[in-house]
A and B are shown apart, each in its own frame.
Chain A
């Protein structure tokens, strides 16, 4: 069956460092992949979308890569700040107008 796995439940890093979050998937070939940010008690907020024919996409301090051979996406936050602390979700387009989400990685950036 298809699975989406995000590398770890929690990631702690020091302010100013680059945070790297991983999203792996199996038994599927999505046409695109998305990343979301979710703060406690709030709904997810869309950050970036990357298509299968794109290797990399950037938005300000965010960078996403998509390796369809490895079936993996990496999400980077450069020059991280305490305000970046949140849970980050990856999501893959699924069949029939469906999107499937990973369980998320909780990022904490310490001052």
Chain B
């Protein structure tokens, strides 16, 4: 099925651990995004990639890094997890002509 696939769906980390969230889309979209969603705060953009080979900071980039591996894949890395990074993370893609297609999310808890 066409769409955005995120892995893992759930993760618990200890403070200071690192991990990479994976995202892949099969719609041939140029633009990909990473958002975090916290209660009462809506979706906030962490990083985005307007096209293969480019990445840019969004609203809340501190503590994160990204890699646009190819046109399909865009990963988000937490180098040293902190409790403030407990959140639901969504990857999205778009061809900019219409809306965004979101993945089903990764629920991350940092203890």
- Residues in chain A within 8 A of chain B (CB atoms): 4, 9, 34, 36, 41-47, 49, 89, 91, 96-104
Asked whether, in the complex, the Cβ of A43 is within 8 Å of the Cβ of B42, the reply is no
B50 at interface, CB cutoff 8 A: yes
B74 CB within 8 Å of chain A: no
Q: Residues of B with Cβ closer than 8 Å to A?
A: 4, 31, 33, 35, 40-45, 48, 50, 56, 58-59, 90, 92, 96, 98-105
Question: Are the CB atoms of A36 and B99 closer together than 8 Å?
Answer: yes
B50 proximity list for chain A (CB < 8 A): 97
Would you give 15 A-B contacts (Cβ < 8 Å), ordered by A? A9-B40, A36-B100, A42-B105, A43-B4, A44-B90, A46-B101, A47-B99, A89-B43, A97-B56, A98-B45, A98-B58, A100-B45, A101-B35, A103-B40, A103-B41
Q: Are A43 and B104 in contact (CB under 8 A)?
A: yes
Given A36-B99, A42-B104, A43-B105: A101 touches B43 (CB 8 Å cut-off): yes
Closest to B98 in A: A49
Given the known interface contacts A98-B58, A102-B42, the answer about A43 and B98 at a Cβ–Cβ threshold of 8 Å is no
When A and B form their complex, which 3 residue pairs have the shortest distance between CB atoms, in order from nearest? Answer: A46-B99, A43-B102, A103-B42
**A97 touching B48, Cβ below 8 Å:** yes
Given the known A-B contacts A36-B99, A97-B31, A98-B58, are A104 and B104 also in contact in the complex, defined by CB atoms under 8 Å?
A: no
Given contacts A97-B50, A98-B48, contact A44 B100 (CB under 8 A): yes
Pair B42/A89 contact, Cβ less than 8 Å:
yes
B110 to chain A, nearest CB (A): 20
Which chain B positions have C-beta within 8 A of A45?
102
Contacts of B42 in A (CB 8 A): 4, 89, 101-104
Q: Chain A's nearest CB lies how many Å from the CB of B29?
A: 12
